[in-house]
Structure 1
Amino acid sequence: MHEKSVHVAWRLWNEGRPLELIDECFRQSSTLSEVLRCIHISLLCLQQCPEDRPSMSFVIVMLGSEGALPQPKQPGFFLEKDSNEAHCFSSTQELFSTNEITITLLEAR
């Protein structure tokens, strides 16, 4: 998700206007509650502190259930000039992470 998109999504979520994130053609859909749940879960996955983010197995459980979800905390990509919120990084930690991925291509014999 793009930084600006995260900022807009977070602002609308906090203002109680998540429906504005959904295209009008989906707003009348019977799956509206599922779309809102996906937005909620995506904000949980973008929380600033990694230890606050759900594991992928928990994301799958949340997607497949209808139980209550925890309230998301501020996303890591959220930038605000006057933000006084404490950051989860200490001064000795790096402010970036290295994500590694291995891609295996299977070819038929």
Structure 2
Amino acid sequence: MAPEYAMHGQFSVKSDVFSFGVLVLETITGRKNSLYESERDQDLLSYVWRHWDEGTVLELIEPSLEDRYSRTEVMRCIHIGLLCVQEDMEMRPTMASVVLMLNSYSVTIPLPSKPALFVSTIKSYKTGEDEAYTN
């Protein structure tokens, strides 16, 4: 479910794009999108964003896909998936743009920004334990 649907009760073209991006990221990682992961896990979008930000995206690929994919194609799909789930819905591409990005190597794909509902963990200065916060 897209964040704007949860907040406003309406689907939009941008919530459809968000849902598509989540589906792409779920397929590649083999993980479900959930805000209710265990304490030591991150939600899917945070998990993918952290790997993207650290340059370790290939580490998150579903193990059953091993040796059955093109690294270039998977990186492209993750890149496009992250564009679809950006926090600012106005920055998300349209589905027509997504199709063009998936089918054409002549299209320049912009860098994604932080995903919606991005959750990070920080050390609590009081307890020294990891605490989650939403950016």
TM tier, smaller:
0.5 to 0.7
CA deviation map 1:35-94 (0-9, x unaligned): 1100100000000011000000000000001133111000012023384xxxxxxxxxxx
What is the aligned partner in structure 2 of residue 13 from structure 1?
52
Runs of 4+ aligned structure 1 residues displaced above 6 Å come to none
What is the aligned partner in structure 2 of residue 32 from structure 1?
71
Q: TM-score, normalised by structure 1?
A: 0.66
List gaps (5 residues or longer) in structure 2.
1-21, 23-32, 36-42, 121-132
What is the aligned partner in structure 1 of residue 119 from structure 2?
79
Identical positions, percent: 39
List gaps (5 residues or longer) in structure 1.
84-109
Q: TM-score, normalised by structure 2?
A: 0.55
Q: How many residues align?
A: 83
Higher helix share: 2
Higher strand share: 2
How large is the Cα RMSD of the aligned pairs?
1.9
Q: 1:73 is aligned with what amino acid?
A: S
Q: 1:13 is aligned with what amino acid?
A: W
For the pair shown, which has the larger CA radius of gyration, 1 or 2?
Answer: 1
